[in-house]
Amino acid sequence: MFGSGNKIKIDPDLLERIKKISEVAGYASHEEFIHHVLERELSQFEDDSSDDDITEKLRGLGYIS
């Protein structure tokens, strides 16, 4: 999943939380859990028809001001 040379940096404390939650939730690995969470979040924005729709949704969620 992440072995194709793509790398992201995750805060070590956050990574530990991810590992614990993914194990308890029954995921095969923490990478699988991260993939699932990212896919779920991205799907919320992919249905929007324009950049303005996405911007408004991000603003509503507090990610941008």
Residue 61 lies in a domain: yes
**Residues sharing a CB contact under 8 Å with residue 50, sequence separation 6 or more, in sequence order:** none
What's the domain range around 45? Answer: 29-65
Domain total for the chain?
1
Please answer whether residues 30 and 18 qualify as being in contact, where contact means their C-beta atoms are separated by less than 8 angstroms.
Answer: yes
pLDDT of 47 > 90? The answer is no
Residue 59 lies in a domain: yes
Residue 62 lies in a domain: yes
- Mean pLDDT over all residues of the chain? 85
- Can you give the pTM of this predicted structure? 0.65
- pLDDT, tens digit, for every residue of 23-40? 999 999 999 999 999 998
pLDDT of amino acid 4: 66
Distance CA 29, CA 18 (A): 10
pLDDT of amino acid 13: 97
pLDDT of amino acid 57: 78
